[in-house]
Structure 1
Amino acid sequence: NRRELIAFLGGPSGGLSMSHASNNSSSNNSSSNDSNPPANHDPNKGSILPLPLSPPDLPQPPPLTVAQKRRSQIAAALLALPPYSAIQALTSSTPPFEWCAMISTIVHALNLCRVQTCLNGTRNVWIVKPGGKSRGRGIALFNHLTTLLSYIHSADQQHLESRWVAQKYVERPLVIRQRKFDLRQWVLVTDWDPMMVYFYDTCYLRFAATKYDASSLELFQHLTNNSISKYYEGEKADDDVTANGDMWDIPTFEIWLEQRFQRAAIWPSLLQPAMKHVVVSTLETARSHIQHRKNSCQLFGYDFLVDDELRVWLLEINSSPTMEPSTSITSDLCSSVQDDILKVLVDLPLARGGGGGGGGG
């Protein structure tokens, strides 16, 4: 089995830790330490972060009852029919008092075979972005195809970009203080063959400027980019989100999660492992298309969203994420990230006797 070294930056302390991960999920060696840590490695800084190459294990549901099995069989048959025929079949084959249970079963079956069912909502909202722009420029939301096409083909928009990205909008995001948020995660790739990825072990939350309303397409409720929210001139909430420049750090998020869901360790045991899984999967997908040069590197900014059922969704990957601080939270983090990048690219190769230069050669 081909093995890959996945190394993770430590936190703001600059600590460095590493773990090995195999592409073969049946051979889990993620807990084994690097046998030759750098001479200046401080084991008290940072911690070993095993990389899951499959989604986190979830509790197994209880066995189905006889009635549930029957409804599942009917639901499977109905899903294979056109919508109108399925409705006719449901009303003719199922007593009215079982319709609610049957509909619930069908919705559950849809969730299993169409993974985005849970985020679709009921308003058919889509988001479009110009392919070559940043900082939220040109982004718009629509719930009608004709207005969407009119927008991207209009003369006023042609200067933005001739190519656009259209995504089904996540209509049911997890909200904090009634506001939508996303997570910006830094990822450093120093080699593609063998692939070496550094996943910074902390990130931060970015909030929309005002309360989330799924029925509105007003951008300040939906976009979390600081380049957008800083122009909001409406009434602002007097809370800890606003006080921190519409941002949160991860420790604050962890406290909120435990209070909201009455469950400890949601971030380290569920959300962060899911993000790592997405990072590795996307990089593996792009790997064959990369013209890699040894002793080079690339910093990526991954943007993630969490829905109201604690599922993690990838929004986009930024190839040149800004490292300019805009709040007290990013002021500390951006400085630490850049300092640790230099340690990885210069100090670590020197400590191993391989000479300096990005790429972990």
Structure 2
Amino acid sequence: MATSSGPVGRRAERQRPPGPIRFRSSLRNTILEVLVSRKDWLETENESEWDFFWADKGWIHHELDKLHLADWQRINHFPNHYELTRKDLLIKNLKRAKRQLEREDRSAEAAQYNFFPQTFVVPSEYRMFVEEFKLSGGTWIMKPIGQAQGRGIFLFNKLSQISDWRSKNPGGASRTPADDEEAPETYLAQRYVDNPYLVGGKKFDLRIYALVLSYSPLRVYLYRSGFARFTNTRYSSKKEDISNAYMHLTNVAIQKHAPGFDKSIGMKWSIHSLRKYLMARHGADATNELFHGIQSLIIRCLLAVQPAMINDKHAFELYGYDVLIDKDLKPWVIEVNSSPSLSASDKSDWALKTAMLQDMLDIVDMEGRRDPGKVELKVGGFDLIWDGGPSLRFDRPTSLPTMLGAYNERDKNQLRIYKESGPPGGEPPKQRALVKKPKEDTDVDKDRDKV
């Protein structure tokens, strides 16, 4: 297996007691299936004596600081992951990174931070937003920062169309709520990307997975596979269609209520298939430039939040990036999810997620199989893209600037395993696991707003 030099790993620190690797999981979906299937891994309900914990974000926010973790214990979130995964903080960090580059006279790099739409946080920046709206007009989208599954999102092209929001906050930023009055909910007012790339007349966005092992130094793996999620309704930019969520929002929580929605048909397409489609229509050079731009966008988001991140040595994180492509083949970041849904909707979804999670656990390496000081360039479907700097090598010669959307042999292999594992959503294997009452998939971004 190909490797590159890197800092000394954690293996020397590990003093894990002999015996099975004890794990906990807050979720009862594919992550539990994968954990149970690992050789010499054993589920435990002990709240502190565990080696690996796939925790929900609530536990991280409220319980992590109460524990003193041993060197070998690992958790799946960085303490302040929200610097990247909360909509308003991501925009704040991206704007700050761009300003810092401009102050350092690195104008060429600063200009590369052009992959997020013009955005204002309201009510705090309401007056600035109104000034920009009156100056340039156009279509905008309002997103509550604390909601999921498309709730509270709406498009508008007139200030009068946000009257409901304004009625809760008259006076915009100048108004201070009374002591006994609840503060207005924070929203993003964001310029709408109204020229999306369409396939079959329908809008889509991409779900892409990135694994961060450390923020200091920054070490990032990118998963080759992912998928495009389509709307059920053909896209229209006509003013009279501005309120039709079925053509503007791609999240399943919205689309499953669309007229004519057929769950059996499916609304996903693999990124590998999309890449081949784009190459056939636009050629290899344009397609490679697009996918390299997506990879660069992912890295720049992480670099932007790196100064603010607490680099807990016990933490790693699997992020779900949501990316939109416009008709000019320009990628835009929509949001980053710290708990991308791991529930499987069909056999292809199950194959992708279970293979990805197995590969992720191989990289985290609780078993200590990896030699100290070695950083592997490729593990399963993951490719190293940043290790204190750009990783310019792959495990084999290639002319591709990124392996995102490239062939991933793990997909085919995992589909073969699917035939032996039964349908997704079935009860996970019970071997080496404690049988517990199933917990719903509570990852808050399961069907986040997709624009």
Q: TM-score, normalised by structure 1?
A: 0.59
Change (3 A) 1:211 1:335: same
Aligned counterparts of 1:255 and 1:266: Cα–Cα separation in 2: 12
Equivalent in the alignment of 2:154: 140
* Structure with bigger gyration radius: 1
Q: Shift in Å at residue 265 of structure 1? A: 6.0
Aligned counterparts of 1:250 and 1:161: Cα–Cα separation in 2: 39
Q: Is the 8 A contact 1:247 1:329 kept in 2?
A: no
Query: For structure 1, which segment, 124-133 or 167-176, has the greater mean C-alpha deviation from structure 2 after superposition?
Result: 124-133
Unpaired runs of 5+ in structure 2?
10-110, 119-135, 170-180, 374-386, 388-451
Q: Shift in Å at residue 306 of structure 1? A: 0.7
How many equivalent pairs are there? 241
Change (3 A) 1:152 1:182: farther
Matched residue type, 1:225: N
Q: Is the 8 A contact 1:138 1:160 kept in 2?
A: no
Query: What SS does the aligned partner of 1:167 have?
Result: strand
Q: Give the 5 Å matches for 1:235-250.
A: 235=260, 244-250=265-271
Residue of 311, 321, 332 corresponding to 1:292: 311
Q: Is the 8 A contact 2:255 2:261 kept in 1?
A: no
Aligned counterparts of 1:159 and 1:176: Cα–Cα separation in 2: 44
Residue of 280, 291, 294 corresponding to 2:299: 280
Q: Shift in Å at residue 178 of structure 1? A: 0.4
Does residue 185 of structure 1 match 2:205?
no
Query: Residue deviations 1:32-65, cap 9 Å, x none?
Result: x5589x9xxxxxxxxxxxxxxxxxxxxxxxxxxx
Query: Residue deviations 1:196-240, cap 9 Å, x none?
Result: 1111122110001110011112001011112221221x1359xxx
Q: Give the 5 Å matches for 1:16-31.
A: none
Aligned counterparts of 1:292 and 1:169: Cα–Cα separation in 2: 34
Does residue 309 of structure 1 match 2:328?
yes
Aligned counterparts of 2:112 and 2:311: Cα–Cα separation in 1: 37
Equivalent in the alignment of 2:370: 351
Does residue 259 of structure 1 match 2:284?
no
Equivalent in the alignment of 1:337: 356
RMSD, matched Cα:
3.6
Change (3 A) 1:174 1:152: farther
Q: Is the 8 A contact 2:321 2:335 kept in 1?
A: yes
Change (3 A) 1:276 1:113: closer
Does residue 173 of structure 1 match 2:173?
no
Q: Give the 5 Å matches for 1:5-84.
A: 33-34=4-5
Equivalent in the alignment of 2:18: none
Aligned counterparts of 1:171 and 1:114: Cα–Cα separation in 2: 20
Q: Is the 8 A contact 1:130 1:161 kept in 2?
A: no
Q: Shift in Å at residue 161 of structure 1? A: 7.5
Q: Shift in Å at residue 153 of structure 1? A: 5.0
Aligned counterparts of 1:310 and 1:297: Cα–Cα separation in 2: 32
Q: Give the 5 Å matches for 1:100-139.
A: 124-139=138-153
Equivalent in the alignment of 2:255: 229
Query: Residue deviations 1:12-43, cap 9 Å, x none?
Result: xxxx766xxxxxxxxxxxxxx5589x9xxxxx
Query: What SS does the aligned partner of 2:364 have?
Result: helix
Aligned counterparts of 1:255 and 1:146: Cα–Cα separation in 2: 44
Q: Shift in Å at residue 183 of structure 1? A: 0.5
- Relative contact order higher in (CA < 8 Å, ≥ 6 apart): 2
Q: Shift in Å at residue 351 of structure 1? A: 1.5
Matched residue type, 1:146: S
Q: Shift in Å at residue 284 of structure 1? A: 0.9
Change (3 A) 1:114 1:322: closer
Query: Residue deviations 1:314-350, cap 9 Å, x none?
Result: 1111122111122443222111221111111126853
Identical aligned residues as a percent? 28
Aligned counterparts of 1:114 and 1:35: Cα–Cα separation in 2: 28
Q: Shift in Å at residue 254 of structure 1? A: 2.4
Aligned counterparts of 2:166 and 2:268: Cα–Cα separation in 1: 31
Query: Residue deviations 1:115-154, cap 9 Å, x none?
Result: 68x99xx982111111112222221111112322523655
Query: For structure 1, which segment, 277-286 or 345-354, has the greater mean C-alpha deviation from structure 2 after superposition?
Result: 345-354
Matched residue type, 1:165: L
